[in-house]
Amino acid sequence: MKNIKRRDFLKMSGVALAASTLPISMVKVAFGKTEAEDFTFAYISDSHITHIKGNKFVRNWDRGLERAVAETNLMDPKPDFVFYGGDIAQLGKPEEIDHGLEILSGLKAKTHYVMGEHDYYVDLGDYWKKQLGPDHYSFDHKGVHFVVLNSILTYEKWMHKKWETGMHRMKQMARLDNPTGQPFMVGDKQLKWLKDDLSGISHDTPVIVFSHSPLQKIHRGWNFWTEDAEQVQDLLKPFDKVNVLYGHVHQIQTNQIGNISFNAAMATAWPWPYPSTYKQVATYLPKLTVEMNRADPFFERDATGWQFINMDTGRVDVSYVLPNNENRVVGYDEKSGHAIEKQSNNNQPAKKHY
Ligand SMILES: [Fe+2]
Ligand SMILES: [Fe+2]
């Protein structure tokens, strides 16, 4: 595995390098905020810890998460905090959530959590919330406003209908291409909360929103989709610099919709194929998506990896560290007004391998 080196990390953008060597006033210009500083955070997602029985768990998924924790602790510069993007568990069992949290407790930095559907549908998030607290919240850090949403809710009627057991409901939601499955959504209650939360934030404040599912519509059959995505986007429209970071899709996706940059996290568990390779139904894979070269789709670590996020300009640059593949950096480009692949040593052109 090619570890990211400090030199490479700082090379991601000229501003990051400048911020590390020039007086803080230079950074102030970038942010327009006196309290702002450049900083980094780490982002780990989709571990799908799977309980077998007793104290046995699927070892590969444990190892993916253990490795992510070890890598994060070795980061230089050290992250201000870590975000966990959801799907700690495979079937939402307390054993799985506890085992995942036990591994994540090895992180030296504070960790913020996002709810995934695999954490939620067995008991509608009760155990997760008992261990981790609210599923939507916000905070400010060095001049940036962070918002966490639970984007994997669905129609109340479906969630609360008379299920034989919570596990039946979970298995319905965990299935791909399930004709009786339901679309994910943020829901009216959180939309109202988000509107209130953002009402006190000045429009030049950089905003980062974390969700589990993409707050855009890509592929409905796999719920690479949030039904009320446009309503969330509308609330984010007045801000100059908005970044949405999401998990769930287990692959690199990058998109720009108006003022909003979207970046996806890879999984520590397994990679999903790109929905564009799935021909039966329409998919809306973002144009800017950097499709990973999957040299060996039967090797589950091929196209899983880590992301380190640099926030020097109020836009995120995501550095993807890809075991057995070339590391890549994607981020917002001021000149073109959208995200681009900023640095790639990629000698293998992205192509489909399924
Ligand atoms: Fe997942
Ligand atoms: Fe998910």
Backbone angles phi, psi at 260, to 5 degrees: -105, 125
**What amino acid is encoded at 112 in this protein?**
H
Task: Return the ligand number nearest the Cα of 268.
Answer: 1
Which residues have C-beta within 8 Å of that of residue 246, sequence separation ≥ 6? 85, 151, 210, 211, 212, 213, 214, 215, 262, 263, 264, 265
Q: Using the mean position of ligand 1's atoms as its centre, give its distance from the Cα of residue 29 in Å.
A: 38
Q: Using the mean position of ligand 1's atoms as its centre, give its distance from the Cα of residue 146 in Å.
A: 22
- Give the model's confidence band at 300: pLDDT under 50 very low, under 70 low, under 90 confident, else very high: low
Q: Using the mean position of ligand 2's atoms as its centre, give its distance from the Cα of residue 6 in Å.
A: 31
Q: What is the mean pLDDT of residues 19-40?
A: 45
Q: What is the mean pLDDT of residues 283-310?
A: 71
Task: Output the six-digit token pair for 235.
Answer: 């609330």
- Give the model's confidence band at 8: pLDDT under 50 very low, under 70 low, under 90 confident, else very high: very low
Q: Classify the phi-psi angles of 80: left when phi > 0, otherwise alpha if psi is within -120 to 50, otherwise beta.
A: alpha
Decide: residue 323, CB within 10 A, 0-12 exposed, 13-18 middle, 19+ buried.
middle
In sequence order, what DSSP letters do the residues of 37-86 get, joined into one string?
---EEEEE----B-EEETTEE-HHHHHHHHHHHHHHHT-SSPPS-EEE-S
Q: Using the mean position of ligand 1's atoms as its centre, give its distance from the Cα of residue 117 in Å.
A: 8
Predicted pLDDT of residue 257: 93
Summarised one tens digit per residue, pLDDT across range 109-125 is 999 999 999 999 999 99
Name which of 6-20, 89-103, 259-273, 321-335 the model is least confident about. 6-20
pLDDT at 48 over 90: yes
pLDDT at 70 over 50: yes
Predicted pLDDT of residue 297: 57
Q: Using the mean position of ligand 1's atoms as its centre, give its distance from the Cα of residue 289 in Å.
A: 18
Q: Using the mean position of ligand 1's atoms as its centre, give its distance from the Cα of residue 38 in Å.
A: 30
Q: Using the mean position of ligand 1's atoms as its centre, give its distance from the Cα of residue 89 in Å.
A: 9
Q: What is the mean pLDDT of residues 72-86?
A: 92
- Give the model's confidence band at 26: pLDDT under 50 very low, under 70 low, under 90 confident, else very high: very low
The 10 Å Cβ neighbour count of residue 204 is 13
- Give the model's confidence band at 19: pLDDT under 50 very low, under 70 low, under 90 confident, else very high: very low
Q: Using the mean position of ligand 2's atoms as its centre, give its distance from the Cα of residue 346 in Å.
A: 28
Task: Name the residue with tokens 């060996």.
Answer: 296
Q: Using the mean position of ligand 1's atoms as its centre, give its distance from the Cα of residue 87 in Å.
A: 5
Does an H or E element contain 342, and which?
strand 338-344
Of 73, 61, 75, 65, the closest CA to residue 3 belongs to: 75
Mean pLDDT over each residue of the chain, to the nearest integer? 84
- The DSSP output letter for 4 is P
Name which of 25-34, 184-193, 306-315 the model is least confident about. 25-34
pLDDT at 32 over 50: no
Task: Return the ligand number nearest the Cα of 269.
Answer: 1
Count the helices and strands in the chain (H runs, E runs): 11, 15
Task: Return the ligand number nearest the Cα of 225.
Answer: 2
In sequence order, what DSSP letters do the residues of 172-233 get, joined into one string?
HHHSTT-TT----B--HHHHHHHHHHHHTS-TTS-EEEEESS-SS-SBGGGTB--TTHHHHH
Q: What is the mean pLDDT of residues 89-117?
A: 98
Task: Output the six-digit token pair for 269.
Answer: 């568990």
Cβ distance 284 to 217 under 8 Å? yes
Measure the CA–CA gap between 169 and 186, rounded to whole angstroms: 19
Measure the CA–CA gap between 305 and 68, rounded to whole angstroms: 8
Dihedral through CA 120, CA 124, CA 126, CA 128, nearest 10?
10
Predicted pLDDT of residue 293: 61
Q: Using the mean position of ligand 2's atoms as its centre, give its distance from the Cα of residue 152 in Å.
A: 8
Predicted pLDDT of residue 309: 87
Q: What is the mean pLDDT of residues 91-119?
A: 98
Q: Using the mean position of ligand 1's atoms as its centre, give its distance from the Cα of residue 224 in Å.
A: 11
Which residues share a beta bridge with 43? 83, 307
Q: What is the mean pLDDT of residues 251-255?
A: 88
Task: Return the ligand number nearest the Cα of 45.
Answer: 1
- Compare 72 and 97 and report the one with higher pLDDT: 97
Q: Using the mean position of ligand 1's atoms as its centre, give its distance from the Cα of residue 211 in Å.
A: 12
| Widest CA span in the chain | 62
Task: Return the ligand number nearest the Cα of 212.
Answer: 2
Measure the CA–CA gap between 44 and 65, rounded to whole angstroms: 8
